[in-house]
């Protein structure tokens, strides 16, 4: 069956400088195995499939797949799928807020001057990381334990360990070895810089360490940690993907009620059809 398809670049307004996402805009009738097979074939960090909503108030439902497994939530697939759904003529119930249904529940997405932004989901695990793990993470990253200013669980689904270094320069200088868990590293740029922080995300895959170009879920959980501890003041912009030749920019804001919003630019790079 021929189905509408888009490949979207997320957290950028310049094509091919962000994090790509494959979006199948009509996933009806596909089995989980068929979705997983296609996601494995695209070999992108995530591929999504749009379905009719099942929950009252949702505008659409999405299933999110890595090449190996299904995710209940991820940030850049949320923004990229919403972009593709709107570009394909999707009309939300509320013109100001699009509501996405996914494995993690209902996720509001709003439009603004910097593009689309999603409300950060609550953390599933937070608090200090046990010292033995911090020491192992330092070894994975190829740095000394003393170079880690702080480490916290910032898990909103993928299981992120958040690591704070003293500077963005230190983050960009990392040459990690083999990591055994998902590690998000953040460091501040000098005052007055266009970006407040530099972010890098590392995770294990098939016996190798993979770096994600731009990671919405990680930036969401890092923002909750950094804002909550007074290390960041919203709104701010984080840079990610610099070490990979990308130019991802993540815009973080915070409502008076404490809701953190994570957003950025989205642009369609490929449009057409796939036979699935």
Q: Note the pLDDT tens digit of each residue in 87-116.
A: 999 999 999 999 999 998 999 999 998 999
Say if 194 falls within a structural domain: yes
Q: What is the pLDDT of residue 47?
A: 98
Say if 69 falls within a structural domain: yes
Say if 121 falls within a structural domain: no
Say if 126 falls within a structural domain: no
User: Please, are residues 19 and 214 in contact by the beta-carbon 8 Å criterion?
Assistant: yes
Same domain, 77 and 145: no
pLDDT band with cut points at 50, 70 and 90 for residue 156: confident
Q: What is the pLDDT of residue 159?
A: 87
Q: What is the pLDDT of residue 206?
A: 87
Catalytic (active-site) positions = 46
Same domain, 271 and 240: no
What's the CA gap between 229 and 95, in Å, rounded?
Answer: 34
What's the CA gap between 262 and 253, in Å, rounded?
Answer: 7
Q: Note the pLDDT tens digit of each residue in 186-219.
A: 999 999 999 999 999 999 988 999 999 999 999 9
User: Please, are residues 121 and 104 in contact by the beta-carbon 8 Å criterion?
Assistant: yes
Domain that holds residue 271: 2-113+263-275
Say if 24 falls within a structural domain: yes
Same domain, 141 and 204: yes
Q: What is the pLDDT of residue 157?
A: 82
Same domain, 98 and 146: no
CATH number where 178 lies: 3.10.310.10
Dihedral over alpha carbons 274, 210, 216, 22 (to 10 degrees): 0
Number of domains in the chain: 2
Same domain, 37 and 155: no
Q: 168 exposed, middle or buried (CB, 10 Å; 0-12, 13-18, 19+)?
A: buried
Same domain, 270 and 197: no
Tokens matching residue 32: 């989980």
Q: What is the pLDDT of residue 158?
A: 80
């Amino acid at each position: 069956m021929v189905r509408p398809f888009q490949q979207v670049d997320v957290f950028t307004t310049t094509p091919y400088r962000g994090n790509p996402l494959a979006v199948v805009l009509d996933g009806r009738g596909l089995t989980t195995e068929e979705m997983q097979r296609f996601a494995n074939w695209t070999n992108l960090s995530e591929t999504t499939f749009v379905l009719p909503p099942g929950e009252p108030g949702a505008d659409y439902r999405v299933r999110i797949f890595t090449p190996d497994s299904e995710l209940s939530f991820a940030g850049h697939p949320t923004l990229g799928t919403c972009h593709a759904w709107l570009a394909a003529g999707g009309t939300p119930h509320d013109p100001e807020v699009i509501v996405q249904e996914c494995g993690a529940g209902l996720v509001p997405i709003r439009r603004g001057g910097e593009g689309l932004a999603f409300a950060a989901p609550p953390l599933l695990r937070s608090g200090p990381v046990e010292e033995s793990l911090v020491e192992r993470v330092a070894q994975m990253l190829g740095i000394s334990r003393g170079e880690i200013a702080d480490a916290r669980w910032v898990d909103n689904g993928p299981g992120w360990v958040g690591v704070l270094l003293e500077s963005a320069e230190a983050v960009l200088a990392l040459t990690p070895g083999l990591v055994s868990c998902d590690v998000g590293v953040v460091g501040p740029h000098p005052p007055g810089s266009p970006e407040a922080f530099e972010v890098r995300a590392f995770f294990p895959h098939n016996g190798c360490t993979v770096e994600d170009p731009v990671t919405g879920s990680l930036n969401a959980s890092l923002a909750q940690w950094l804002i909550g501890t007074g290390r960041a003041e919203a709104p701010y912009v984080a840079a990610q993907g610099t070490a990979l030749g990308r130019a991802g920019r993540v815009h973080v804001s915070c409502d008076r009620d404490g809701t953190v919003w994570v957003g950025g630019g989205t642009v369609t790079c490929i449009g057409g059809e796939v036979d699935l």
